[in-house]
C-alpha cells in the first residue's frame, strides 16, 4: 500500500512540474477536445459559407470567438452571404472580425523620371457571423453531424471508475460543466470527443469540480463571479485533479498539451502567489483521493 501511495505522489510531483513548465511556455487554449457541432466531424477548422476552411490567423480568431460566445457550428458568413443564401442575421447580433491579405498598386517616379509600379501588401478586416446567429439559411447549416464512421472505444476501467462515484452525470449539449446548485455534471456526447482519452480527461476534470460540493470536501476559494481569483483557483484544482486521476487510471502517461493549455489563463494567479500551485495541487490530491474513496473497497 505504501508503495502505491508513494508512486502516486511521485506522479503528482512530475505532472505539476510539467504543467508549470508548459504554462511558462505560453501554451494557449485555442481548441477544446470535443466538437458537438454539425457538418464537419469531431474537430474542424472554422468554415466559410461554401465549406472552405479558413486559413492562418483567422482560424485562431474564429476559434476564440466561438469559444467565447459558445457557438458550436463551424460555419461563418458575411451579412451579404447570409442574404444571398435566403437567410438573414438576427437582429442585435454582433459579428466577429476576420482579415484577408491583399495588395494595392502604387506608382512612383524614379530619380531619372521613369515611372514604376509597386505592389504594396496590406491586411483588410471584415465582419462575419456564425450560422447560429442567422435564420433562414439552408438546412445543412443547422443539421446535426452524422455519427462518425470510425468508432472510438470507451476505456472500460475508467468508465467503471466514473460510474462508481455515483455522481449524477448527464449527457447532451456542447458544453462540459459542473452545476453546483443542482449538483450534476454535464458532458457532451461521447461520440463528439476527439478520442476516448479526451473524454476521460474532461470527465475527470468535472468530477474534480464535483468534489467541491459542501456535502463532500466543501472546497471554497471565495469565488464570486466568472473569471475572478477564486474561479481561477478552482479551475486550476480541477485541471490538476484531471491530470492526477488520468495518471492513476493509466490513461495519459504524460500531461497532454491540451490539459496544460486550459490553465494558461490562470498563470497570473500562480505568479501573484508562488504558493498557489502548491495549494492547488494539494486540493487536487485531496479531491482525487476522495474519488478513489468512492470505489468498491477490497474485502478485509
Question: For residue 104, is pLDDT > 60?
Answer: yes
The answer for residues whose C-beta is within 8 angstroms of residue 12's C-beta and 6 or more apart is: 244, 247, 281, 284, 285
The tens digit of pLDDT for each residue in 188-232 reads 999 888 888 889 989 999 999 999 999 999 999 886 665 677 888
Please give the pLDDT value at position 296.
93
Average pLDDT over every residue of 169-178: 91
- Give exposure, 225-263, as e/b (b: 16+ Cβ within 10 Å): eeeebebbbbbbbbbbbbbbbbbbbebbeebbebbbbbb
Mean pLDDT computed over 111-118: 77
Reduced to 3 states (helix: H, G, I; strand: E, B; else coil), residue 47 is strand
Least confident of 134-138, 180-184, 254-258: 254-258
Question: For a pLDDT cut of 70, what percent of the chain falls above it?
Answer: 68
Q: Which is higher by pLDDT, 198 or 41?
A: 198
Between 85 and 222, the more confident residue is 85
| Confidence bin at 151 (pLDDT 50/70/90) | low
Mean pLDDT of 173-202: 90
Q: What is the pLDDT of residue 287?
A: 94
Amino acid at each position: 500500500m505504501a508503495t502505491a501511495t508513494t508512486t502516486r505522489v511521485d506522479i503528482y510531483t512530475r505532472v505539476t512540474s510539467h504543467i508549470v513548465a508548459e504554462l511558462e511556455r505560453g501554451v494557449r487554449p485555442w481548441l477544446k477536445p470535443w466538437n458537438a457541432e454539425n457538418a464537419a466531424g469531431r474537430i474542424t477548422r472554422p468554415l466559410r459559407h461554401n465549406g472552405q476552411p479558413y486559413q492562418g490567423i483567422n482560424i485562431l480568431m474564429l476559434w476564440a470567438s466561438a469559444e467565447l460566445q459558445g457557438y458550436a457550428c463551424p460555419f461563418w458568413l458575411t451579412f451579404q452571404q447570409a442574404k444571398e443564401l435566403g437567410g438573414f442575421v438576427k437582429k442585435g447580433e454582433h459579428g466577429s472580425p476576420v482579415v484577408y491579405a491583399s495588395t494595392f498598386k502604387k506608382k512612383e517616379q524614379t530619380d531619372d523620371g521613369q515611372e514604376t509600379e509597386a505592389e504594396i501588401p496590406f491586411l483588410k478586416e471584415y465582419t462575419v457571423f456564425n450560422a447560429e446567429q442567422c435564420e433562414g439559411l439552408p438546412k445543412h447549416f443547422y443539421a446535426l453531424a452524422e455519427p462518425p464512421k470510425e468508432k472510438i472505444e470507451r476505456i472500460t476501467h475508467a468508465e467503471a471508475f466514473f460510474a462508481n462515484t455515483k455522481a449524477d452525470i448527464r449527457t447532451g449539449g456542447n458544453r462540459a460543466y459542473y452545476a453546483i446548485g443542482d449538483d450534476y455534471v454535464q458532458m457532451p456526447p461521447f461520440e463528439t470527443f476527439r478520442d476516448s482519452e479526451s473524454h476521460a480527461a474532461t470527465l475527470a476534470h468535472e468530477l474534480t469540480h464535483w468534489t467541491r460540493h459542501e456535502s463532500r470536501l466543501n472546497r471554497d476559494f471565495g469565488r464570486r463571479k466568472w473569471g475572478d481569483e477564486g474561479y481561477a483557483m478552482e479551475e486550476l484544482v480541477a485541471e490538476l485533479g484531471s491530470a492526477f486521476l488520468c495518471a492513476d487510471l493509466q490513461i495519459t502517461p504524460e500531461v497532454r498539451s491540451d490539459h496544460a493549455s486550459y490553465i494558461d489563463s490562470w498563470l497570473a494567479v500562480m505568479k501573484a502567489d508562488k504558493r498557489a500551485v502548491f495549494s492547488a495541487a494539494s486540493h487536487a490530491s485531496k479531491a482525487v483521493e476522495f474519488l478513489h474513496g468512492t470505489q468498491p473497497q477490497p474485502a478485509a
